[in-house]
Amino acid sequence: MKGFAARLSAEQVKEMEKKPGFISAQPQRILSLHTTHTPSFLGLQQNSGLWRDSNYGKGVIIGVLDTGISPDHPSFSDEGMPPPPSKWKGKCELNFTTKCNNKLIGVRTFPKENGSPIDDDGHGTHTASTAAGAFVRGANVYGNANGTAVGVAPLAHLAIYKACDSTGCPSSNILAAMDAAIDDGVDILSLSLGGFTKPFYNDAAALGAYTATERGILVSCSAGNSGPTNSSLSNEAPWILTVGASTLDRKIKATLQLGNKHEIEGESAFHPKVLNSTIFPLYEPGKNEHESTERSYCQDGLVYNSNGGKIVLCQVGGGISRVGKGQVVKNSGGVGMIIINEKGDGITTFANAHVLPALDITYANGMKILAYMNSTKKPVARITFQGTIIGDKNAPVVAGFSSHGPNLASPGILKPDIIGPGVNILAAWPTSMENNTNTKSTFNIISGTSMSCPHLSGVAALLKSAHPNWSPAAIKSAIMTTADTVNLANKPILDERLLPANIFAVGAGHVNPSRANDPGLIYDTPFKSYLPYLCGLNYTNQEIQSLLQRKVNCSEVKSIPEAQLNYPSFSITLGANSQTYTRTVTNVGEAKSSYSVEIVSPPGVSVIVNPSTLKFSKLNQKLTYRVTFSRTANSSTSGTAQGFLKWASNRHSVRSPIAVVLV
């Protein structure tokens, strides 16, 4: 028995601690769910490149921990799918006319007495289809983003573990589901959920992911939706692939034309069957003194007389979703809606499937609308819809909501590791957003690091299929060291302010699946090195035991500083004294190859690498280099700085980002 969940009083826990074999007890926590042109945007093409080399992820099993599944959705058809691998030991707990198949090979609920694994939220169906959905032609929402929907690894198998509902994900459910997935035989675990930063021994995802990694399973997790605040991450453990979110080059454009002829651009997945260019009055709830300012959030209780025949401005927030605000406005007689985002969202806008003509705009544009309304007694506007537009050269842009580092749980590990598509992602949904009851081919467009996580889970599945002997750390390294650091315009990746994104927003950069398939060198973190690393975090023996599920004595272990872990990136806190660390790389490129180091030092920091050339004579050969960090004479007294080091051969470029906090 690995563990159990029980309702115990504080006194009962104290009694249990006296029992032989006791390791640790964790209080229950509720974690949050973090919420398709993307394969093409990621460079995945049919019958070529990584899709061809990996056979579309064939033979790999992706376990998805989420809100369940809509098993009869065409994204989970098993047409052309082989049977699951012989190692598969999972269960199918579907008690409906729809059963498991060669795509959907396992479905389970935790705890089992919670009932049906059917997804009544939508989040789990969306994430599962993003990772490994089948090809479905004619996917769209209100005709927008029309095309063929497909997951990143369309021939991978899916195993679904319902551990969450619309209220969240209890930590006991997460651990039970992860234990089951490990025993069932999954290759990849995808968790689009998380909470606030916690020590790893108190973090359910970190606990389960440690055991999974020990069994050769890569765990991909969302970074969180609390950006752009610094140190807002979740899922920070080094054995987890931590994924931030970025935009696509696709926008679903809507425009607001004000009475003064000024035009405001936004986004919306709503598209009326009959275009209506009528001008309507604008109305801002909560503006008048006798009205509660809470009305500006467009919560339930808006009165018909105020909204009737008007386009209503709604502030984001107030505990009601964007689409929910639209329903309130529609019910109260409004003919349209403008959602004004928070200032921190920057240029990030959302193409939601609204129930009435509506658009989502930036905070800055919202202030322009309010200024216009204050300049006239009869403010008016009209909403027009331009539909899907592809070709935004600024993409990918880091989403305003994507959580940032530095990593509070382990400052010596740079997080997030990577960013991937997470804004306005079209994927499978249990029900029609247009109330169309004549089809099961139903989709929705939503955003979040919950959406970027399954993209990376799918990429990991492709790499696992192409390189079945690679460890989780090797797959992570290949993804990180080959990441893109420039956008489609060949300029540095930007953040939500349209400024160059810093290292704590992008990590190693934006995933490039094709390059990850041939990284040249990999940083393979030996699993045994996690114990010296954990001892170096100054955890107690008992705290580490709760992670490792075995007795530990750090006094018998040679601990290492965090930055000494053989990680594909560097995160250094640098004072007056220099620091030296080693890294070991494994040759997975050309047997006879030579790599030279290129260094872009963080401002105010000297970076010296020795040796400066690595010469390999065979595949899988390992070579070690040393890196010394020290302050320069003109170094600032405090702050952060960033740079990188890169090992380059005639064919490969292996890049490691460097983050330095000067103290």
What's the N-to-C CA distance of the chain in angstroms? 46
Q: Are strands 136-141 and 380-390 parallel, antiparallel or unpaired?
A: unpaired
Tell me the two tokens of residue 283: 């109305």
Contact (CB, 8 A) for 243 and 418: yes
Can you read off the two tokens belonging to residue 121? 């939220």
Distance CA 124, CA 632 (A): 50
Structure tokens at 309: 């025949």
- Joined together, the tokens standing for residue 252 give 């679903």
Where are the strands (E) in 127-279, listed by range? 136-141, 144-149, 157-162, 169-170, 188-191, 193-194, 218-222, 240-246, 250-258, 263-267
Cβ distance 286 to 292 under 8 Å? yes
H runs (alpha helix) in 165-303: 171-184, 204-214
Q: Residue 477 is inside which H or E element, if any?
A: helix 472-481
Give the DSSP per-residue string, 287-346: -STTS-GGGGG--TT--HHHHTTSEEEEESBTTB-HHHHHHHHHHTT-SEEEEEPPGGGT
Taking the C-alpha atoms of residue 332 and residue 338, their distance in angstroms, rounded to an integer, is 15
Tokens 């489609």 sit at which residue? Answer: 488
- Residue in the block written with tokens 């074999």: 21
Q: Hey, is 519 helix, strand or coil?
A: coil
Q: Does residue 350 contact residue 340 with C-beta atoms inside 8 Å?
A: no
What is the CA 181 to chain-centroid distance, rounded? 20
d(CA 110, CA 91): 13
| Residue type (1 letter), 151 | G
Separation of alpha carbons 163 and 452, rounded Å: 19
Report strand pairing: 188-191 vs 61-66: parallel
212, 505, 40, 567: CA torsion to nearest 10: -40
Query: Which positions are catalytic?
Result: 66, 123, 450
| Cβ-based burial of 406 (10 A; exposed 0-12, middle 13-18, buried ≥19) | buried
What phi, psi does 9 have (nearest 5°)? -80, 165
What whole-number distance in Å separates Cα of residue 306 and Cα of residue 335? 12
For residue 265, give Cα distances in angstroms to 89, 336, 346, 347, 368: 51, 15, 14, 11, 12
SS3 content of the chain, % helix, strand, coil (to 5): 25, 30, 50
- Rounded Cα distance between 500 and 494, Å, is 4
- Pairing type for strands 144-149 and 579-587 reads unpaired
Tell me the C-alpha distance between 539 and 202, whole Å: 11
Neighbours of 538 (CB within 10 A): 9
Q: What angle do CA 244, 42, 161 make, to 5 degrees?
A: 55
